[in-house]
Amino acid sequence: MENSPRDQASSNVVPQPIRMSDGAGATDLGPRDIMRDRENPDMLVPPVTDAGLLPNMKFSFSDTHMQLNQGGWSREITVRDFPIATTLAGVNMRLTAGGVRELHWHQQAEWAYMLLGKARITSVDQAGRNFIADVGEGDLWYFPAGIPHSIQGLEGGCEFLLVFDDGSFSDLNTLSISDWFAHTPKEVLSANFGVPESAFSQIPNDQVYIFQDTVPGSQESQKVQSPYGTIPLSFTHRLLAQPPLKTPGGSVRIVDSSHFPISKTIAAALVEVEPGGMRELHWHPNNDEWQYYLAGQGRMTVFAGNGVARTFDYRAGDVGYVPFAFGHYIQNTGNQSLWFLEMFKSDRFVDVSLNQWMALTPRDLVRDNLHVGPELLDALRKEKWSVVKYPGCTYENK
């Protein structure tokens, strides 16, 4: 007898589209991508609970185009690659030591999570107040739409995730200082800055985007004093320094405008689900959910109503998506902790727990609606309602 689909995926057995529980399916003897089938066992052999049609809710940064530059690289996931992801877009970027994401700004807000290494960010707001900070692993930054900024890798370089509050955003179509200079007559630049045209004889002919520079000195050595003072709300937040809310199956750190006041359009949670744990059955009443998987292996099943559900498998570097108010849960299917970010185009992080809803509904109504046994009803009554529960992660419900 063949192993289960998940056992097949973790062994040298060639996985086959046959469901062992009911014998549905048949062998696939034609041309196929066996490595891809091993990565997606619940798409090759969908659980019996999967039914109907749902759009693809998984896309990997490994399947995106790399933009290579002297000083680093970038790749992005937008609606062009991932049509269902209309609310948010993501960019994965690497900068070498000294590599610079040039002075630029966006029509969209930028939220970022530092994956590895350290970087220096700079910015100036609309009141002429400037900001400079060094960010490291687990730190966040947020630049509101229209606020100019730059990013530079420090010693050892860095890699980070950028998230923008528009699914159609492209990082290659931003407003860059080099691009503007290149498309402005030199006599206009001369008149604007009050210097000879010769000062602009070596400016770039096009957008620089990312370029190699030397590693900058200390923050103090680069300090520029603004006559208008400093920015009142910090553009950075140390997420890993924020104490996690621990549960029997993992931990969670929630960051939204109540924790990171400048972040008005993107709310997030950094979730850890330990082996054998799961992110409970729930949904979000505020907006779609955009996910980025950092480590481990997970499986998400999404329920869309009318008997429609679909299951997807995720690994590090994958992006998941859940449309507004669709029910879902996420299981750790590996032997190490599953880490992922869940993000929303919103100023607050909110969700509705299925456990909590049932527990706060009259007992007889739940029993008669679902025909469940007293064991479930008794278990629900014992829950503590000061928290919303992730059976992998629990956070205080504010």
Q: What is the pLDDT of residues 322-332, one digit of tens each?
A: 999 999 999 99
pLDDT of residue 10: 56
Per-residue CA distances from 350 to 36, 72, 263, 388 (Å): 34, 36, 15, 10
Catalytic residue among 102, 274, 289, 342: 342
Asked if the domains 61-237 and 242-396 are classified in one and the same CATH topology, the answer is yes
Q: What CATH number has the domain spanning 61-237? A: 2.60.120.10
Mean pLDDT of 358-383: 92
Tokens of 39: 């990565």
**DSSP readout, 305-366?**
ETTEEEEEEEETTEEEEE-TT-EEEEEE-SSS-EEEEEEESSSS---EEHHHHHHTS-HHHH
**Beta strand pairing status for 130-135 and 175-176?**
unpaired
- Residue 397 pLDDT more than 50? no
Burial class, 173, CB count within 10 angstroms (exposed 0-12 / middle 13-18 / buried 19+): exposed
pLDDT of residue 237: 98
How far is residue 208's CA from residue 102's CA, in Å, rounded to a whole number? 7
pTM confidence score: 0.93
pLDDT of residue 172: 87
Mean pLDDT over all residues of the chain? 93
Enumerate the domain spans of the chain: 1-34, 61-237, 242-396
pLDDT tens, residue by residue, 251-306 = 999 999 999 999 999 999 999 999 999 999 999 999 999 999 999 999 999 999 99
pLDDT tens, residue by residue, 161-190 = 999 999 999 998 899 999 999 999 999 999
Report helix, strand or coil for 396. strand
Q: Does CATH number 2.60.120.10 belong to domain 242-396?
A: yes
How far is residue 329's CA from residue 393's CA, in Å, rounded to a whole number? 12
pLDDT tens, residue by residue, 133-160 = 999 999 999 999 999 999 999 999 999 9
Element (H, E) at 153: strand 149-164
pLDDT tens, residue by residue, 317-370 = 999 999 999 999 999 999 999 999 999 999 999 999 999 899 999 999 999 999
pLDDT tens, residue by residue, 240-254 = 999 999 988 899 999
197 is catalytic: no
Residues counted in the chain: 398
